[in-house]
Structure formats: structure tokens, C-alpha cells
Amino acid sequence: MAERATLSSVAERAGTSRQTVSNVLNAPERVRPETRDRVRAAIEATGYRPHVAARQLRTRRSMNVGLRLMPLQDGINGSILDAFVHALTENAAHAGYRLVLFSAPDDDGEIAAYDELLETADLDAFVLTSTHHGDRRTRWLLDHGVAFATFGRPWSAGTDPRDSVHHWVDVDGRLGAAAATRHLRDLGHERIGFLGWPAGSGAGDERRAGWRDVLGAAAVLDEAVTDGVRQGSDAAARLLAAGATALVCASDSLALGAFHRTTAVVGFDDTPVAAAVGLSSVAQPVEAAAAHVVAMLARALGDPVPPVLPSTPDRHVLLEPRLVVRDEPVSLAHP
């Protein structure tokens, strides 16, 4: 196995401490010339490349990017954000960034955390998720000149033009819900209901709009409930009683509740639970979203964008979701 050269392997080969190797790289004047030569020979021999270290020392930057980890919900609807954290960690590494997680009870707590983290952790940038109407977090970061990008578009951009200036990546949920509605119509359903969240949620309103786009005047069977499996089950019963024969849902949590009442259901986010029970669902391309977010941050920070990341210079990226159609649970679907 070819071991990767590290500060330790250089130190071992040169017969010095890690600190001495670090000094040769950062403060060579502190090291005796013969030790310096020995360490430099060891760096050459091992092929050690202190890229991140060197860049960091040159720029005096932390290379740390902060992200508030949202609280776990029921483990269904929130799993898309965990998948995004995985993708962000991988993609951040391509650009030499590391992800610093923090928690906060609400937006004000998140803003207070920005302030504290800028002071104590010397963060270079932030990534925000779960954007919503009247989002004070993005305004605070703009006011303070902090680099950031959001996974989720600025929902108040139409009413407050300042909201439209920042970097964002989002997935077109309206397209996704429209694809789900067309799929059910193609299966022969004429009375297709929408099971979503109360009006005012940016993402939820977009998904409802996609259902309306396809059905037009026939978009009448509409239930708005808070997210959750039981809420989905109860609202699905009402929609079916009102004559619906199929349901487009704003989340897999709602869809799972509906799925025990009828299998003509499409969920949203293609969670592991959807795969487990054989539920069709709209998948968000979180891997691509994370890659765009990191590329945007790199450009904003003046860092090179590695070839593995998207090279488009767009400040705003709206990705297309993909409908995943399932006939049966993953364990029964044979290849």
C-alpha cells in the first residue's frame, strides 16, 4: 500500500519532530541550516505536498466553512439534509475546505452563532439551508460582508431585491411536482389530489404550483397540513373521501402516511423510506447541489475551482429533480 506522505512521515525520515518540519515550512529562519537541509531533503524524498497548509499559511485563512446542522425531524423528511451534509463534506475537501458544524435553536440563534464563530473560529464562509420568506440570516451575512451560499433560493427576492444578490443553489420543486402529477395522469388517474403544507412555505408553495400547472382547473382536491406521517395518513383519508384516486405529496413523510391508504402516491425527496416501502418519489440532486455550492464559495473567496467541481460561473443555479418510479419495495424488486 502506497502511504501518502504526511508531516509525520517527513519528520520521521528527517529524524526531527513534526514541529521542526512545520517550522521549516513556515518560519525557516528559526531552524538551524543543517536541520533545514535535512528536512527539505526528506520533503523531496517523500513527495510531501503541504498544499492546504501552504495556502493557508500564505493567505492566513482558516479554510473552514460553517454550517448549522438542522435538528432531526422524524428521520424521513430531514434525511435530504443529512445527504446534503455528506455531499458537502466530500465536495468541500476537493477545494481544501472543511465543514464546521454548529447547532442553533432558530434563525436568531444561527445569527448569534455566525457572530461568535467569526470571532472565535475565523471561518471563511457559511453554507445555509432551509431558506424561507423574510430570511434575516442572509441579510445579516450580506451586511457583514461574509461569504456564503445557500441551498435553497431566496424566497423573498421578488419583494426585496437585496435578497437576489447572494449565491444560491436550489432544485426546481415545481418541475418535480408537475412530473409527479403527469405520471399519475399517465397511469389513468383523473382526480389527482395534492397533499402539502400550509401556504407560506417557499418550497411547499412551489410544489403545489407544479401540481396546478398540470391540472389547471381540475386542481381542486388540496389538503394543507403540517409535515408528518400521521398528518399525511389523516389528510389522505379526507382527499380519498372527497373523490381523489391518486395523490401528489410535498414530502415523503406525508406520502408514507398516504401510502397505507392507496398506492397511487408520489412523495418528495426520494428518501430511504420511500425505497424501503416501494413509494415513487421526486429525487433532489443533492450531490450536484453540494458541488455547485462549493464552487460558488471558491469563486467568492478567490480560490481556484478544482476541475472536479462545476465550472459554470453562475451565481444562481436551479437544478432539475428526477422522478423515481417504483412498483414494489426494494427488497422485492428483482433485477
By CB under 8 A, name the binding residues for a second copy: 1, 3-4, 6-8, 18, 22, 50, 52-53, 56, 62-64, 69, 71-72, 74-76, 79, 82-83, 85-86, 89-90, 93, 98-103, 108-109, 112, 115-121, 144, 229-230, 232-233, 256-257, 259-260, 271-273, 275-277, 329-332
Our CB check for a second copy shows the closer of 121 and 300 to be 121
Our CB check for a second copy shows the closer of 85 and 298 to be 85
- The least distance separating a second copy from the CB of residue 1, rounded to whole angstroms, comes to 7
CA dist 327 and 25 (Å) reads: 59
Residue 149's H or E segment, with its range, is strand 147-151
Grid coordinates representing 251? 414530502
CA dist 118 and 125 (Å) reads: 9
Grid coordinates representing 122? 475565523
Our CB check for a second copy shows the closer of 136 and 162 to be 136
Closest CA to 265 of 237, 226, 242, 307: 237
- The least distance separating a second copy from the CB of residue 259, rounded to whole angstroms, comes to 8
Grid coordinates representing 109? 440563534
- The least distance separating a second copy from the CB of residue 117, rounded to whole angstroms, comes to 8
CA dist 63 and 51 (Å) reads: 12
Question: ∠ CA 146-63-140 to the nearest 5 degrees?
Answer: 15
Our CB check for a second copy shows the closer of 70 and 157 to be 70
- The least distance separating a second copy from the CB of residue 211, rounded to whole angstroms, comes to 22
Residue 87 to residues 43, 233, 288, 320, Cα–Cα distance (Å): 32, 32, 8, 17
Our CB check for a second copy shows the closer of 115 and 190 to be 115
- The least distance separating a second copy from the CB of residue 176, rounded to whole angstroms, comes to 19
CA dist 21 and 31 (Å) reads: 9
Our CB check for a second copy shows the closer of 113 and 209 to be 113
CA dist 253 and 249 (Å) reads: 9
- The least distance separating a second copy from the CB of residue 214, rounded to whole angstroms, comes to 26
- The least distance separating a second copy from the CB of residue 99, rounded to whole angstroms, comes to 4
CA dist 70 and 79 (Å) reads: 11
Our CB check for a second copy shows the closer of 62 and 164 to be 62
Q: What is the DSSP letter of 253?
A: H
CA dist 20 and 245 (Å) reads: 72
